Structure 1
């Protein structure tokens, strides 16, 4: 699934490709992609005549801002956008097409068909699903050490599942949580209430720096991700631990291990990320 760096890269690409374009009409060939309004005809009718003003992001969601509407789009597993000429063949699994009055088209392709689109009046999108319960943005000025600790510190949940929970911190997925925890030297099975102040500071810095480096590299193309111009991300070549099972740790040389934490495949260095101490057995 595209995480924050990939969605941010798509956002930046779409601004270059479609900002200022006027929608002439919309074709929806898979109605379930459109969640709001539920009728694809109403969705298409509302967008006809609208001009795309900019493209923004909230967590892993794109916010396509139009004249007097906001389209909230989630790519899910394999959704992708691309801009084409109207005479170019339409690829298989293309489910929504935004036809512009200049003869170009923004096409949404989704092999897995899990992506969603919601249409709102401006500002209304933050008061309803899917954006209403999202946590703090790790690349925003609001992502201070204090806000980070307030969201997570003191909880008895393992730190990795907490970081993956979009209601606390948005945009983080499996790849970047593993990378940030390794950078901070924190084992993913440590519970939040056991982290020291110095560890919170290291983790806060690691989350931000990992995401910033990934955005600069255009995201990670682990499976099928490409940006709006069909280009792959390159951050997978900079990954320190994710996907490197049995390879030597870049810091200490120990073999990287893979386990399951919170139902997710997890990569750790047994030396650089000390596992939590077992709790003493209760006395009988």
Structure 2
């Protein structure tokens, strides 16, 4: 009886595992069938993903990238807000089909999910009070704010071991802590910091010093074994590059004359 019960349980586990694998492998067909691509995006992080005050819709660079992919698929987009900490679990649990949420590609994450080609490149820096930081030494032993579940959280701990890292749900909350004097700096990717600072009413009091601690290549996240879907997304990104659509989207959100051009230079990196 016990052997029979164990066999039944094992069979259910294997069936469940097989079902998950099939689900992951069929995302491309499933999205076409249901007519909608569910994308996990940030909703408070300009210019990548945030709620527009007039339309009350989520807009941004990441949003336009994923909309272009949905258009190529011939389906509509459903946007679901995610945080740095929730985006991968949401994907792996099947609640979203793709992550378009300022996510850095790294070996640890690549063990759990699949990534597209790099579609944006930046580097991790800091927002500080103007004139307060000129090197990493100035942040030794200080409190530094960032977002939970981000590579920024890991990088700053390695770069400044003596600092106390305070992790918030998102970067705007971390910046609010800086404004209130609760932290000496906020750290994440330079492009995100620039977007936060651009929207700040008292931005003249703050700056982004030329202190960089990492390179941050962004990728669109998909389920790891989703080979067909990943291939489709990569093909679409390269077609966008060739047609000039990638450049148009980039300039829409970052302008034709920006320092980010030096790093991004409109090239989706096939890696």
The TM tier, using the shorter chain, reads: under 0.3
Higher relative contact order (CA 8 A, sep 6+): 2
TM-score normalised by length of structure 2: 0.24
TM-score normalised by length of structure 1: 0.24
